[in-house]
Structure 1
Amino acid sequence: MKNNKVLTMIIIVLVAIILIGGIGFVLYTQFNKPAGSLEPTIDEIVEASVEIPEITTNLADNKIVRISLKIQTTNKDAGTELTKRDFQVKNIVIQELSEMEQKDLEGKKGKQIFQQSLKTRLNELMQEGEVQEIYITSFITQ
């Protein structure tokens, strides 16, 4: 009789461990799915992006820069807002470039620093969403 109770307890504990392990496995696999399904499609990215036509301005060292940008936002509404703020975007781009010298924009790192500072400044303006990425589509200095 006592052996029956011990055997029953062992079976119950084993079943509980197996159930907890199974539930843990299912939860682990559900929460660690790749974020690929959350990534926007290229059509959604294009829809939420704003083209900034070529801007020509002086740098701090009296050199000239010509730059065109494509700004990716979080959603279509944010893209619409940024389009309406076109004049503010151009102003911020010119302000940021006027503080930089040609050597500051050289290489990959220089452009990344410019993109990051621009992104920060633009996100301060945004109300409907935020700027996710800034792409330099054309760049010439003289």
Structure 2
Amino acid sequence: MLKNKLFLISISMLIVIALILSASLLLWNYMGEKDNASTDPNQKAQSSVADVKEKKKTAEQIEALTVEVKELTTNLADKDKVVRVSFSFELENSKTKKEFEHLSFKVKNIIIQTLADSTVDQIKGAKGQDAMLATLMNKINPILSEGKLKQIYITDWILQ
């Protein structure tokens, strides 16, 4: 009699544990799909700036929120290939611009590392440049705590 009760209790405990593990696994998969729904860098870049509210700004206001990084030259992943590039970064607000300027060494490092890991085929043409800009936006936005990077513009591009 006591053995039967002990057996039933242990079977019940195993069933409860199995149900909890199953529910946890389903919840984990559901949450993982939401977080990893987009692996496309362009979509990630768009979602990272989705909460930036767009107001019509004058050219002077845009210029006041823009930081230039001029003439970065680095080797590409391809042997004997070099790129010299300049960027303009449009930021959300003046606090973000100030923070961005203070972190310019990190931004330059991110740009150089991203380009150094890229091949000519990955960055050539408009699609390649768009993908590279999206990757840069995804890497730079997390280091900014005062706001977001809204847009990156390529202002000079020489690929040799």
Provide the rounded CA distance (Å) in 2 between the counterparts of 1:54 and 1:122.
Answer: 18
The match for 1:91 is 109
Contact preservation (8 Å) 1:57, 1:94 = yes
TM superposition shift of 1:118? 0.3
The match for 1:11 is none
The match for 2:72 is 55
Within the candidate set 74, 80, 84, 1:66 is matched to 84
| The structure with more radius of gyration | 1
Percent identity among equivalent residues?
Answer: 36
Provide the rounded CA distance (Å) in 2 between the counterparts of 1:64 and 1:121.
Answer: 22
Give the counterpart letter for 1:80 in structure 2.
Answer: K
Provide the rounded CA distance (Å) in 1 between the counterparts of 2:67 and 2:97.
Answer: 6
Provide the rounded CA distance (Å) in 1 between the counterparts of 2:55 and 2:137.
Answer: 22
The match for 1:79 is 97
Listed one character per residue, the Cα deviations across residues 61-84 of structure 1 (whole Å, up to 9, x for unaligned) are: 021000000000001111111111
Runs of 4+ in structure 1 deviating by more than 4 angstroms, as ranges, are none
TM-score (norm 1): 0.72
TM superposition shift of 1:131? 0.4
The match for 2:56 is 39
* Secondary structure of the corresponding residue to residue 145 of structure 2: coil
Contact preservation (8 Å) 1:48, 1:77 = no
The match for 1:115 is 133
Provide the rounded CA distance (Å) in 2 between the counterparts of 1:38 and 1:76.
Answer: 15
TM-score (norm 2): 0.64
Listed one character per residue, the Cα deviations across residues 23-79 of structure 1 (whole Å, up to 9, x for unaligned) are: xxxxxxxxxxxxxx9222211111111100110000000210000000000011111
Provide the rounded CA distance (Å) in 2 between the counterparts of 1:123 and 1:41.
Answer: 24
TM superposition shift of 1:86? 0.8
The match for 2:123 is 105
Give the counterpart letter for 1:41 in structure 2.
Answer: T
* Secondary structure of the corresponding residue to residue 38 of structure 1: coil
The match for 1:19 is none
Compute the RMSD of aligned alpha carbons: 1.2
